[in-house]
Amino acid sequence: MKSVFAVSAVSVGAQKSIHLQAPQLSFGEMVNSINGHHNELAAKYGATSSPVVIDNFQNAQYSGPITVGTDGETVSVVYDTGSSNLWVPNKDCCNRFSPHSFYHHEKSATYTENGTIFNIRYGSGPVAGFYSKDRIQIGDVEVNDYTFAEVNDVSGLGKGYSIGKFDGICGMAWDSISVDGVQTPVQALVASGKLPEPVFGFYIGDNKAGELTLGGVNSAYYTGDFTYVPLKDKSYWEIAMDSMKLNDAVIDANTKSAIVDSGTSLMAGPTDVVSAIAKQLGATSILGKEYIIGCDKEFSITYTIGGQDYKLTNSEVNIADVPLCIMGMMGIDIPAPRGPLWILGDVFMRKYYTKFDVGQERIGFALVNKAAVVV
* Catalytic residue set: 80, 261
Q: In whole angstroms, what is the distance from residue 329 CA to residue 263 CA?
A: 14
CA angle 316, 329, 160 (to 5 degrees): 110
CA distance linking residue 164 with residue 60, whole number of Å: 9
What is the C-alpha separation between 351 and 338, in angstroms, rounded? Answer: 26
Nearest to 131 by CA among 178, 192, 194, 96: 178
Rounded-to-integer distance, Cα 82 and Cα 270, Å: 18
DSSP-derived secondary structure letter, 176: G
CA 143/CA 188 separation, integer angstroms: 7
Closest CA to 247 of 276, 290, 286: 276
Count, residues in the chain: 375
CA dihedral of residues 76, 82, 86, 92 (deg, nearest 10): -70
